[in-house]
A and B are shown apart, each in its own frame.
Chain A
Amino acid sequence: MLSLVRSMWLIFLHMFHKRETFQYPEQKAPLPARWRGRIALTRDPDGGERCVGCYLCAAACPVDCISLQATEDDSGRRYPEFFRINFSRCIFCGFCEEACPTYAIQLLPDYEMAEYNRQNLVYEKKDLLIDSEGKYPGYNYYNIAGMAIRGKDKGDAHQEEPPVDVKSLIP
């Protein structure tokens, strides 16, 4: 009997608590920055595509919903010729983001992607690529990688010595 009254009292008190329910869609929930929502391809600080087409995201994807083709432009930078995510298969596990060695693929706190037509959930590179560095501002993969591209020769990258002079005998 006493426990019954106690329960009713507690529930009565809840009437004065802060509400946990959001009136979605009028009211949106505040999401943490690392929320695993929509997948985007980000850009370098200099505006170039971060994705180098290494295929690691595709390999990590447990539902195999990423496919791409790597290619190289005339400056020596690699980029995906096409990059496709089938969001009707995506489970938003974020493994692709973890696998990405260049911080290109990032999951954003945006989850409003519902469609009536399933075909519309197939996102190509033009749908995925955003004009932002996302969560890792300032990171530029080619400044760390050893490969030379136009504008960044051998020895110009982070912590690199100038190229070896093969003909030198100086120790």
Chain B
Amino acid sequence: MPIINIDNKTYEVKEGKNLLEACLSLGLNLPYFCWHPALGAVGACRQCAVKVFKDEDDKKGRIIMSCMEPVKDQQRVSIEDSDAKKFREQVIGWLMTNHPHDCAVCDEGGACHLQDMTVMTGHSYRDYHFTKRTYNNQYLGPFLNHEMNRCIQCYRCVRFYKDFAGGKDLDVFAAHNHVYFGRQQEGVLESEFSGNLAEVCPTGVFTDKTLKQHYTRKWDLTSAASVCQGCGLGCNIIAGERYGALRQITNRFNSAVNGYFLCDRGRYGYEFVNSPQRIKTPMVYHGPSELSNGIPVLQHIHRRMKPGKTIGIGSPRASLESNAVLKELVGEENFYLGVSAGDHDLVSLALKVLQQGPVRAASLQEAAAADVVLILGEDLTNTAPMLALSVRQAVRRIPVEEVINTVHVPAWQDAAIREAVQENKGPLYILNVQQTKLDELAKGAWHTAPDNIARIGFGVSHLLSDKMPEVTGMSEQGKAIAAEIAEALKHAKNPLIIAGYGSGSEAVIKSAANVAWALHDLGIDAMLAFTVPECNSMGLEMLGGHRLESAVDRALNNEADTVIILENDLYRRLNQHRAEHFFDKVQDVILLDHLYNPTAEKATIILPAGTFAESDGTLVNNEGRAQRFFQVFSSNTAVQESWRWLLQIAAANGHATLSSLKHLDEVVSHIAVTCPVFHGIDTLTPGAGFRIAGQKVPREPHRYSGRTAMQANIQVSEPKPPEDPDTALSFTMEGYRGEPPSSMIPFFWAPGWNSVQSVNKFQTETGGPLHDGDGGKRLIEPHPNGQTPFYTEVPEPYLPLTEHLLLVPLYHIYGSEELSVHTPGIAERIPAPYIMLHGEDAKRLQVANGHRLHFMDNGHHYTLPVIINNTLQQGAAGIPVGLPGVQIAEAPQLIKV
């Protein structure tokens, strides 16, 4: 480890870093703009100047850009040198010559890296008295606001958008002091990761447009550590509230999961929390003759819960606590998983593969470090967007390593590395039913039906290991594909196999498992990543329960009178007609949910359940990582956590074990004791009794404003602030001001660092883990020496049938998720319902783009407009899943045209 001398103090630093990273990792304040820990250094902004000295006798030194200078042993550096300081102040003075007088109306203000750095350099007086350059702005869609005047030309936006996230439609235009960052023409930014520009941009050129609708400064937000509910990956987020409404989602750094970035569904899909469709009060439906007005709702529920005839339906979008409490309340034999048959089969299979097999599930960051990636039947950009971003990084790994070894430039020299790498890519193979956005990076991308994908997967595993079944009757092309993929995988060190719910096929997951296990047998450190549909799909599957279909059967046999539905819309889980039958048969439907939905129309009792922003709970993501999310604000309505409602029901019923439980800690430790699979979830975060210096951790920054005026219009005497009996966080600005444990950081802030860049101060090194480790705990670890239960049943090849089409599910980042569609910005991006056909099939059926196709499924009629896509397998028809207005099941099935 090199030892360097900064301002006459010696420090030990990590090798291979640049000086800026070293200084920031040591906790020293050094201003910068263009450098970003995830993007590397390009030396564009000239802001991080320091002085280096030849040796001890050198008093003059020379000014260098610290982000472009590798750390060397015995280096002598000065940050505080007056020349270096003056230089930095000058640079920011120049950057400010054209910066508009905008801070008061700029959404970045108060969380602005440019403000922070200006104060840090000491530039306080404008001595440039000439005119300012101006730009026209562009409309960039519902997510981002564009204000080009504020630009300081650091190039971070294009480096993130183009180079890191693979976007095509944002670029830098014009020349010299006129450079312009935007689109060639006004229009919606296409990338699914565009929202990160709001955080990547050090100033207010790109700002969060949904925040602008209800603008609040960062210092006024009541925030808490949370976990994204948008998909199964469990990215860490910070959610902020003001005046009883959720205002903004920002990234919460977790070096094992999402790192610095989020996808747009996660960032912008939060507004359902503020929806007018929210259920705010408990409601009981009863006939006028029942005379039941005035009785507490819990009494109503108690009356209607008949022993042995009450069933519970859990939910993959409810917390582990809520599901576990419901399971215990109704009894194990009466608890049903509220997921469709297809999802249940896929997720339980994925869980089995991860629990019993010898190959571990990859975290998002491990996925980004894979050297060969094989994607089987997944359109990652739409089913697990952040995993797609990880794959983009993985594809660069091999060429970057080659460049580092041949050209001898360090990994952080971003421009040099990209110049040397050019368009070289590491091996990525994609097999999917239609074209995906990642195809452009792939060495090979083939489009075929799910069964054929599985057959190729089985073929690859056979080529890797003789123990695997041979695939008979494979086409020449199939054999060639399998051979190419097997050859690449054989030479890999840590390859990644991705499959999941996107294909809707169990055979695909089995073939992925076979490939990974065969590689493991060869001594290769392979990784598996299975996507799961919802934020707690994996947790619900680990908890276990009966299939939803058997709940319907039970109701149809008159064996269930009352059903408690937890945060679930059964019309999304069951065929619409079957759901109707179910609701006709059961007498009482007790629903706990956030939003009015078709299931709520059938409910006889509705309890207002808290969303992620109003609840504490735990989610288990696709790799089996349990993560805690914290309540952001306490609403003054009857809304409370589902598990708390269920505990109150249990207490009203005099339940044996649940009656004694009240708070989160008790529930969590009860689950950890009673379900061995969740052992350790009680240690995810410090308990409610945790204090630092005798104090709780405040959810509000010390500059939080308006305490004595916010509610003065209602009552001039300030009410007592709400208390939080469940966690060690307080709902006020009072509390410990230092660094809280990493699993419960409510917001990133450090003295002098108001912007998101303050995360540097919370990390062991820049881009490294947080000080006391990243939050979350992996609950599933592989059996390294376990018996590998290879799958042997190879599916039959898919053959197109005349008269019939094979319906395959197509997922959309905007639209396929239930809750985010209630957000206006997301709703704007949802595609219209369609059925996708291959050109040949369209010709055969005599339809063209936009024509309406009528078809039958299970005896029911549907009509949808046609979209023609020639990358789709012939004989298959793609149906978007989960879009409002599309009610067809997810698994592949044959339909009659």
Residues of A near any B CB (own CB < 8 A): 52-56, 58-59, 61, 63-72, 78, 84-86, 88-89, 101-102, 118-119, 121-122, 124, 141, 144-148, 154-155, 159-169, 171
Contact = CB atoms under 8 A, between A and B. Distances in A.
Interface residues of B, number: 46
A53 B215 CA distance: 9
B133 to A, nearest CB: 6
B136 interface: yes
Given A63-B708, A67-B710, A164-B180, A55 B217 contact: yes
Contact of A86 (B133, B136, B214, B709): B709
18 contacts: A52-B105, A59-B703, A59-B705, A64-B709, A69-B214, A84-B710, A86-B716, A101-B104, A146-B147, A147-B100, A147-B105, A147-B147, A154-B137, A159-B130, A160-B134, A163-B134, A166-B178, A168-B178
A65 B709 contact: yes
B705 A52 contact: no
A59 B103 CA distance: 14
Interface string B133-148: 1111100000000010
Given A66-B706, A154-B149, A163-B135, 15 more contacts: A54-B103, A55-B217, A59-B220, A59-B703, A59-B705, A64-B705, A71-B215, A86-B708, A86-B712, A122-B713, A163-B134, A164-B174, A166-B173, A166-B178, A171-B176
B135 A147 contact: no
A68 B102 CA distance: 19
User: Majority SS of interface residues in chain A?
Assistant: loop
Contacts of A58: 220, 705-706
Contact of A155 (B134, B176, B243): B134
A144 B215 CA distance: 22
Contacts of B217: 55, 59
Contact of A119 (B109, B707, B716): B716
A69 B100 CA distance: 23
Interface in B553-610: none
Nearest to A76: B105
Nearest to A118: B716
A109 to B, nearest CB: 23
Interface in B145-176: 147, 149-150, 173-176
A71 B216 CA distance: 10
A66 B709 CA distance: 6
Given A121-B716, A163-B135, A169-B175, A65 B708 contact: yes
A161 B132 contact: yes
A52 to B, nearest CB: 5
Given A72-B212, A101-B103, A160-B132, A84 B709 contact: yes
A64 B734 CA distance: 14
Contacts of B132: 146, 159-161
A49 to B, nearest CB: 13
Nearest to A141: B104
B798 interface: no
Contact of A163 (B100, B136, B175, B176): B136
A78 B106 CA distance: 10
A69 B150 CA distance: 24
B716 A164 contact: no
B101 interface: yes
Nearest to B706: A67
Contacts of A86: 708-709, 712, 716
Contact of A54 (B105, B131, B173, B704): B105
Contact of B178 (A54, A65, A164): A164
Contacts of B135: 154, 163-164, 166
Contacts of A61: 705
Contacts of A53: 215
A120 B109 CA distance: 33
